[in-house]
Chain A
Amino acid sequence: MVDSSQSIQAEQLKPPITRIGVIGWLRANLFSSVFNSVLTIVTLYFLWKIVPAFVRWAFIDSSWDTTGAACRAAGGACWSIVTKNIRFIIFGFFPYESQWRPLVAMIILFILLLLSSNRRFWKKSLGYAWLLGLVSMGLLLKGGLFGLSSVESTKWSGLPLTLLLSVFGLTAAYPLGIALALGRQSRMPAIKSLCIVYIETIRGVPLISLLFMSSVMFPLFLPEGITINNILRAQVAIILFTAAYIAEVVRGGLQAIGRGQYEAAESMGLNYYQKMRLIILPQALKIVIPPTVGILISAFKDTSLVVIIGLYDLLKTTQSTLSDPRWMGFSIEAYIFIALIYFAGCFSMSSYSRRLERELYRGN
């Protein structure tokens, strides 16, 4: 029997308060058991050893705008290697006086990416903006028109090259991956087996070997006199490679969609393309946002492998700087700098994916 006084009592009961203030928090989170207490103490010891030393090295004793020799004298971190060589690290061999051009191109790219990240702007006008942006970015890099001096694509290097390879590599790989995933589920045996062979072959070889093939083997098959731009070949290799991985992730998402969704779509009279585009893919792609972003992030970092076929991406321009005798021995500082650039790219991708997941949440 539940009488009214009992139920009133039940209402007044609050969850027991076990954590009060800082001491309570410490006890609950850092010293909840003997093992945790030991871990906490050991961690604190290492932090005490490392953090002050790092701060002294990176900030107090550091040099920011000196020569290499002065750096060695100061003893701390030599950020001068970055500040003094920033234009070579970022723009590489692009003609010095024209380096504003890739800079403007990158700014255009960032603005477009920023606009595209907001779903409210996903309209036709954004498509036109991209078209216009692509043309002007190409023009800025290549030149040869409107009084801009022509720049060979062999001179494209540094951050613009990294961005070119990754942004276009990823945006082209994503739809190709989706098409491959759909193809792998096709009822037509020819398409299905073609897709399986493609996906399994590509996933069976390392990206490096694809890059080598694209730069060494591929030209052998071309008729004499025809050459295809080295950057384009690397770009294609990256696209083909990434697409195979995306295809498998998307396939996982497709399998997570129940038969009922297909049947509901079919019973309305939707044809295959409508069914996939309107019902199945929106749900499947949403489910696989986390693993897809994982692939995109690793593909972004893998673009640095193009150094082995002689392209000067951001990593390679940094390494070239390090081989300059005046700056030898400051590799840590230079690598920290480009690590920050890569981190900014990866972190914005993963935080965007989390935002997208939140926005697409539909209470299920």
Chain B
Amino acid sequence: MDNELQKNGDDRSPGEPIIEITEMHKWFGDFHVLKNINLTVHKGERIIICGPSGSGKSTLIRCINRLEEHQKGRIIVDGIELTNDLKNIEKIREEVGMVFQHFNLFPHLSILENLTLGPVWVRKVPKAEAEETAMYYLEKVHIAEQALKYPGQLSGGQQQRVAIARSLCMRPKVMLFDEPTSALDPEMIKEVLDVMIDLAREGMTMIVVSHEMGFAKSAAHRVLFMDEGEILEENIPVEFFENPQHERTKLFLSQILH
């Protein structure tokens, strides 16, 4: 089962680069969170970023859709460079979906309304068409029967699947996952990972901050290890897990794999 997906994915990739980060730095005040980040992501590629907490992995993917601002270097997404230009930022956000650790569904809107809001207001899709798309993706994450409920009535795993469907409704070119399973009860992690694996199978470009090593092994092309704001190591999953190069990587892997 190992790498089955990766091989499938390899047929499609590497495509052309969709995200190019060069010599990027970020500070929170005086604190240097991201140091000289260089990363190119190709179309159809799936990258897992892992590392100890506080290593800057979430901050890194949040820079890609400008939830965080970088201070130095360049980030180019889908041919558009991220600057302070609001129009560019909004354009990039349309193309980059994001799934959060705490789901962040809109509690005052029904599941269906959560899914149609972006397409209707940002992409200007007619409402009926947006609802059709929404139902299609809800089927896909196996939750169509909950369409008229409100987020507060769903379990964590269901909410996270809705959140994934919500991002997909925007038909993004890239999906960012910020620790999508770490706020979930253990029995719900699998239902979310299954959805993500389905997504991988369809060739979605994904950057996932996660410690789910099973997912990394079965779905990722590359695994990145970050510590103290730097990308320390980068390898294909088999090599990364079986033959880690860096001391800190070895330590980290021994801690999470026991």
Contact = CB atoms under 8 A, between A and B. Distances in A.
Interface of B is mostly: mixed
A21 interface: no
Contacts of A363: 150, 152-153
Contacts of A261: 104, 106
Nearest to A360: B108
Given A278-B117, A286-B108, A268 B170 contact: yes
Interface residues of A, number: 21
B151 interface: yes
Contact of A263 (B90, B91, B94, B104): B104
B203 to A, nearest CB: 22
Contacts of A271: 86, 90
B199 to A, nearest CB: 17
A152 interface: no
Contacts of B122: 268-270, 274
Contacts of B117: 268, 270, 278
A278 to B, nearest CB: 6
A253 to B, nearest CB: 12
Interface string A227-271: 000000000000000000000000000000000110111111111
A304 B206 CA distance: 63
A76 B65 CA distance: 77
B209 to A, nearest CB: 14
B108 A260 contact: no
Contacts of B97: 267
B167 to A, nearest CB: 8
Interface in B168-183: 170
Nearest to A279: B106
Given A263-B104, A282-B108, A362 B67 contact: no
A267 B107 contact: no
Interface string A120-134: 000000000000000
Contacts of A264: 98, 100, 104-106
B42 interface: no
A260 B170 contact: no
A364 interface: yes
Given A267-B67, A267-B98, A364-B151, A274 B93 contact: no
Contact of A267 (B93, B151, B152): B93
A266 B67 contact: yes
A265 to B, nearest CB: 8
Interface string A350-364: 000000000010111
Given A267-B65, A269-B90, A269-B93, A283 B121 contact: no
B94 A269 contact: yes
B118 interface: yes
Contact of B150 (A267, A278, A283, A364): A364
A362 B108 contact: yes
B93 A268 contact: yes
A12 B151 CA distance: 35
A267 B121 CA distance: 13
Contacts of B130: none
Contacts of A266: 67, 93
A269 B118 contact: yes
A279 B151 CA distance: 14
Interface string B207-219: 0000000000000
A270 B104 contact: no
A309 B166 CA distance: 57
B93 A260 contact: no
Contacts of A274: 121-122
Interface string B89-116: 0110110111010101111100000000
A364 B152 contact: yes
B100 A263 contact: yes
A278 B121 contact: yes
B121 A364 contact: no
B130 to A, nearest CB: 13
Contact of B107 (A268, A270, A278, A283): A283
A362 B154 CA distance: 11
Contact of B102 (A260, A278, A360, A362): A260
Nearest to B118: A268
Interface in A318-364: 360, 362-364
A364 B107 CA distance: 7
Given A268-B93, A269-B122, A286-B108, A260 B150 contact: no
Contacts of B107: 283, 362, 364
Contacts of A270: 117-118, 121-122
Contacts of A364: 107, 150-152
Nearest to B96: A267
Nearest to A364: B152
Most chain A CB atoms below 10 A, which of B67, B151, B153, B166: B67
Contacts of A286: 108
A364 B90 CA distance: 30
Interface in B197-250: none
Interface of A: 260-261, 263-271, 274, 278-279, 282-283, 286, 360, 362-364
19 contacts: A260-B102, A263-B100, A263-B104, A264-B106, A267-B65, A267-B93, A267-B96, A267-B97, A267-B98, A268-B118, A269-B94, A270-B121, A271-B90, A274-B122, A282-B108, A283-B108, A360-B108, A362-B152, A364-B151
Closest 7 CB pairs of A and B: A364-B152, A363-B152, A264-B104, A269-B93, A260-B104, A269-B94, A268-B118
Given A260-B100, A267-B93, A268-B166, 10 more contacts: A260-B104, A261-B104, A264-B98, A264-B104, A268-B170, A269-B91, A270-B122, A286-B108, A362-B108, A364-B152
